[in-house]
């Protein structure tokens, strides 16, 4: 195992406003980081589920290939719409869930309440040209079990640090062309991402005077940040 899932990050034009939206729909706590960015922490939960919302100068130029699936507390997403979500697609003959967008245009899926299932995030979904290869690669990074389905997607279950039920890699026909506005962070098991790069990750940026982490991309170009282990006390 080369690393473990750490948390999610969202690019935003207005981090506090976007963070407030996600804090509201996830019943989280909004933290003002004092530098223009914000963070959504789960109430009484693990920091691994935090969502960092970071200001970026560039506008959205395409679909984000990473999104969350949520389980609703109710039969319909009325509360999400009241909080500021936009309806993109309703359930129909092909899908049994709602596709919504947050105030910055990030898509996410909302599934109706189900007896015995807690509301909140249930999966992180990544658009993929080769879902099985992607799930297998990330299993090599963070451990876990890869399961495939007849409809073409692959799921990674039990990855180290992963806080939700499934990490899903979904087949799509289009290739990645622009930077994802949602990405995940990884805590490394070693001091540098050498093993990740040998395994097929691409180094995009090294630590410098501005950042203390590495920016990498997986074999299909999905950006992620890698953090060295914290010094022990």
The whole-angstrom separation of Cα 160 and Cα 4 is: 5
Q: 31 near 74, Cβ under 8 Å?
A: no
- Give the pLDDT of residue 63: 84
137 domain residue, yes or no: yes
Q: What percent of the chain has pLDDT over 90?
A: 90
Q: 216 near 196, Cβ under 8 Å?
A: yes
pTM of the model: 0.94
Q: 181 near 60, Cβ under 8 Å?
A: yes
- For 114-182, the DSSP string reads -TT--SEEEEEEEEESSHHHHHHHHHHHH--EEEE-TTS-EEEES-TT--SSEEEEEE-SSPP-S--SE
Q: What is the CATH number of the domain that holds 208?
A: 3.10.180.10
Helix (H, G, I), strand (E, B) or coil at 67: strand
- Give the pLDDT of residue 45: 57
Tokens found for residue 227? 């953090």
- Give the pLDDT of residue 44: 67
Q: For 2-16, what is each residue's pLDDT tens digit? A: 999 999 999 999 999
22 domain residue, yes or no: yes
Residue span of the structural domain in which 144 resides? 3-227
Number of domains in the chain: 1
The whole-angstrom separation of Cα 162 and Cα 123 is: 10
* Cα torsion angle, 55, 60, 66, 72, sign: positive
Q: For 172-221, what is each residue's pLDDT tens digit? A: 999 999 999 999 999 999 999 999 999 999 999 999 999 999 999 999 99
- CA 5 from centroid of its chain's CA atoms: 10
Q: 204 near 217, Cβ under 8 Å?
A: yes
232 domain residue, yes or no: no
């Amino acid at each position: 195992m080369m690393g473990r899932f750490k948390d999610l990050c969202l690019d935003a034009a207005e981090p506090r406003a976007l963070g407030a939206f996600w804090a509201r729909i996830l019943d989280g706590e909004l933290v003002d980081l004092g530098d223009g960015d914000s963070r959504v922490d789960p109430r009484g939960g693990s920091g691994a589920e935090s969502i960092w919302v970071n200001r970026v100068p560039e506008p959205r130029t395409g679909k984000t290939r990473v999104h969350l699936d949520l389980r609703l507390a109710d039969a319909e997403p009325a509360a999400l719409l009241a909080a500021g979500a936009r309806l993109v697609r309703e359930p129909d003959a092909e899908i049994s869930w709602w596709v919504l967008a947050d105030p910055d245009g990030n898509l996410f899926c909302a599934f109706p309440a189900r007896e015995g299932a807690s509301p909140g995030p249930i999966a992180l979904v990544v658009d993929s040209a080769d879902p099985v290869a992607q799930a297998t690669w990330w299993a090599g990074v963070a451990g876990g079990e890869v399961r495939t389905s007849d409809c073409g997607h692959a799921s990674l279950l039990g990855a180290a640090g992963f806080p939700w039920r499934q990490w899903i890699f979904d087949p799509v026909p289009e290739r990645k062309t622009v930077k994802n506005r949602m990405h995940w962070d990884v805590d490394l098991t070693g001091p540098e991402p050498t093993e990740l790069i040998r395994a097929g990750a691409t180094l995009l940026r090294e630590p410098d005077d501005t950042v203390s982490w590495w920016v990498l991309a997986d074999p299909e170009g999905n950006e992620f940040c890698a953090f060295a282990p914290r010094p022990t006390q």
